[in-house]
Amino acid sequence: MAAIHESSALGLLDEEIRERFGDTARLSGGPAASARTLVDIFDASVRACPDEPALDDGTTCLTYRALAVEVERLRGRLAEAGVGLGDRVGVRVPSGTNDLYVAVLAVLAAGAAYVPVDAEDPDERAELVFGEAEVRAVIGARHELTVTGRGETPAARPGVEHDAWIIFTSGSTGKPKGVAVSHRSAAAFVDAEAALFLTDEPIGPGDRVMAGLSVAFDASCEEMWLAWRYGACLVPVPRAQVRSGADLGPWLVEQEITVVSTVPTLAALWEPETLNDVRLLIFGGEACPPELTQRLVTEGREVWNTYGPTEATVVACAALMTGEEPIRIGLPLRGWELAVVDEAGEPVPMGASGQLVIGGVGLARYLDAEKDAEKYAPLESLGWERAYRSGDLVQAEPEGLVFLGRADEQIKLGGRRIELGEVDAALQALPGVAGAAAAVRTARSGNQLLVGYVVTQDGWDQATAVEKLRAELPAALVPLLAPVDELPTRTSGKVDRNALPWPLKNLETAGPAEQLYGTEAWLAEQWAEVLGIPVTGASDDFFAIGGSSLAAAQLTT
């Protein structure tokens, strides 16, 4: 993985880039680490650091030796209940507690795969997930064990081919999709990151890693093993502080956190000084605003931008951030293969854009065999027997891939195809913007509007922002700007576009800021009728307040 660090942080000469990657958009992270299991990794840390803190929820701090004892106790209960090698066990334990992470480790130690559901999710969701996964048992609060059936295989240490976890992602049909990740893939991911982060001063005893993500989200696996791979301490965040977001900043200081993996939306809520002790900051899950990286990249701290779908084991590629644009998702981890392809499945030239396809050791599988065959079909152009089609559009550059957005977020507005990810990126690059997302909304008149929701901070000026967007984007892509206090997120931490506020209160209640007369008053009425948005003054610009060429045509009919 050192090569990735060199190319993303130090740069390569053009001829070296061509020699390493060729002229087509196929990138390789090199050979994967030696095969082992997550249980192997944990046991190695217990042997190396028995008396170092391993898990601290603020109520009890467990050393690695003490944690191993707790894990063995619960593993024994699972074995007695009939949970065996290759089985699946539901985990629905309250967040922010040691009990949650003991449960995860105990299931792995029993040779089973853990199937997490957030304790605060509806019962219907838990029943659906556990039913689809056919779990043998469910671990609840205070390690209450509910047995749903006995397996035929006794509990035993897992092999690299056995599943480590099964996480359910949202499906386009509304039905969650179960994704199973093997120990081989999971451990390869953990070891690949070990060769990537803080190579000069690796994570180790004395480091404290924040655990703030829901275990139903695959990035929680990164949090856990950023601690347990190195003999560091995992520090669960109380759920109340995760909900508030802004309160997490002071908590980081109080808990002396040194390693954080989170989403940009959450980090944007923290004052920069609350991260003074943090020497490794990892972003993932959503696009990262350039201004956020400029604020947080500093001497003595590595800031990484990572990308990876659940279907390819958490992270497929990463980029060390410098605070300069463009924001990249980087190059593949050790053992991962990436290709950027056109609609025919052929690799595009370097410099072109297309769909990102992932191969290599990190490939997971769907529980649904039909879905698995569809999404992991061979990529004949490169001879890959299994390849995951991400549905994400990227720009292929040898220095590192640039994320453009979801292919399925290409929407039509006024007859023009629009990529929401492109609008997101432009919004996030505006001065004074801490976070942003675009969405299409329908006004009461039926007119569709492209709205850019922005979380603002010092340096924000709406007129300047509109001017910058007009200079950088086609007219049809310049959104109506809507400042908001925060962006709604899903359990995964990603922005929930469907929950972005509409109608906007200020648009619903606003009237003219100045009295209009005659032709101006009549024209303002026509604009408001077509756009569904009140005109505030004679100087308003039709296109700046949400008008499009199609809407303009409506005015003339």
User: Tens of pLDDT along 315-341?
Assistant: 999 999 998 878 999 999 999 999 999
pLDDT digits (tens, 9 = 90+) for 508-539: 444 444 567 777 777 777 777 666 666 767 76
Write the DSSP symbol of residue 123: H
Does 11 score more than 80 pLDDT? Answer: no
Is 13's pLDDT higher than 50?
Answer: no
The secondary structure element, H or E, covering residue 106 is helix 98-109
**pLDDT tens profile 32-45:** 999 999 999 999 99
Average pLDDT over residues 200-210: 98
User: pLDDT higher for 541 or 393?
Assistant: 393
Q: Across residues 4-29, what is the average pLDDT?
A: 57
Neighbours of 149 (CB within 10 A): 12
CATH architecture of the domain covering 414-555: 2-Layer Sandwich (3.30)
Contact 394, 404 (CB under 8 A): yes
Whether residue 8 contacts residue 320, with contact meaning beta carbons closer than 8 Å, is answered with yes
Counting Cα atoms < 13 Å in the Cβ hemisphere of 552 gives 11
Q: How high does pLDDT run on average in the chain?
A: 87
Query: What does the alpha-carbon distance between residue 130 and residue 412 come to, in Å, rounded to a whole number?
Result: 38
Q: Which of 66-80, 472-486, 502-516 has the highest mean pLDDT?
A: 66-80
Higher pLDDT residue, 269 or 128?
Answer: 128
pLDDT at 510: 44
| Average pLDDT value for residue range 175-188 | 95
Q: Which residue has the higher pLDDT, 431 or 540?
A: 431
Q: Give the predicted TM-score (pTM) of the model.
A: 0.78
